[in-house]
Amino acid sequence: MSHGAGLDSFVLLLRRDVLLAMRRRSDVLTTFFFFVIVVSLFPLGIGPEPNTLRAIAPGVIWVAALLASMLALTKLFASDYADGSLEQMLLAPAPLALLVLAKVLAHWLVAELPLILIAPMLGLQFDLPSDVLVMLLWSLLLGTPTLSLLGAIGAALTLGVRGGGALLSVLVLPLSVPVLIFGAGAAAAVAVGQSAEAQLSLLAGFLLMAVVLAPLGTATALRIMLD
C-alpha cells in the first residue's frame, strides 16, 4: 500500500472519529466537567492557605487529568467493536497501527485538549504564578498524549470484557505513574525556581517511545481480542 493511501486512511479515520465525538457531546462534556469539578473541589476542601494550594496544584491537576483520561478511554474502541467497524479496520489495506494512531489522536483532540486549555484557568484557583501556569501547560501538552497512547493498549486488552472500565484502570494507571511524576514535577520545579528541562526531556522521550510502540501493541491486542 502506498504511503499516500495510508495517509488518506489516517486523515479520514481521524476526521470520522472527531465528527462522531462531536455528535456525542454528552461524553465529551462528562469528561470535561469531571476534570473541572475534581480540580475545583481541592481549594474548597483544603482551605485558602496560598502556600499549601501552590504546593499541591501541579499534582492535583495532573491526577485529575489522568482520571479524566481513564474515563474517556473506556469508549475508545467500544462503538467500533459494537457496529463491526473494528473488523473492517483489521481487513483494511492501511496498517492497523496507523489507524490506531488516528483513533488515539482523535481521542486526544476531543477528550484531552479541552482539559489542557482550561487547566491554566483552573490553576488560578491555586494562586499559581504565570510561569508555573505556562510550564503546567507545556507538561500537559507533552504528557497527556502518552497517557492516551498507553490507555489505548488497555482499552484494546479489555475490549468486550465485563467490567472492562475497572480492569482498564488497573492495567493503565501503574504505567502512567512516571508520566504523572515528571509532568507534575516540571511545574513544581519552576515553582521553586529550578529548571524543568530534565522533566520536559523525559516527557518528550516517553512520548516518542509511546508513539512508536503503543500503536503496534494496541494493534496486536486488537487482533488477539477479535480472534
User: Cα angle vertex 146, ends 20, 134, to 5°?
Assistant: 95
Distance of CA 100 to the CA centre of its chain: 14
3 state DSSP class of 75: coil
3 state DSSP class of 162: coil
- Closest CA relative to residue 223, chosen from 39, 109, 78, 86: 86
Q: Which helix (H) or strand (E) holds 33?
A: helix 25-46
CA-CA distance, 214 to 163, in Å (whole number)?
A: 23
Q: What are the grid coordinates assigned to 213, written together?
A: 510502540
Check if the beta carbon of residue 149 is closer than 8 Å to that of residue 215: yes
- Please enumerate in sequence order all residues whose Cβ is within 8 A of that of 36, keeping only pairs 6 or more positions apart, or say none: 118, 122
Distance of CA 183 to the CA centre of its chain: 13
Check if the beta carbon of residue 220 is closer than 8 Å to that of residue 152: no
Summarised one tens digit per residue, pLDDT across range 74-123 is: 788 888 887 777 888 888 778 889 999 999 999 999 989 999 999 999 99
pLDDT at position 222: 87
| Helices 25-46, 50-73: inter-axial angle, 10-degree rounding | 160
Handedness of CA 39, 164, 215, 99 (dihedral sign): negative
Q: Please determine, for residue 210, whether its predicted confidence score (pLDDT) is greater than 90.
A: yes
Write down the pTM of the prediction.
Answer: 0.89
Q: Enumerate the domain spans of the chain.
A: 3-226
Q: What are the grid coordinates assigned to 171, written together?
A: 492495567
| Helices 50-73, 164-191: inter-axial angle, 10-degree rounding | 150
pLDDT, averaged across the chain: 88
Length of the chain as a residue count: 227
pLDDT at position 5: 58
pLDDT at position 4: 59
Instruction: Determine the residue type at 156.
Output: A
3 state DSSP class of 151: helix
| Helices 50-73, 113-123: inter-axial angle, 10-degree rounding | 170
Between 1 and 144, the more confident residue is 144
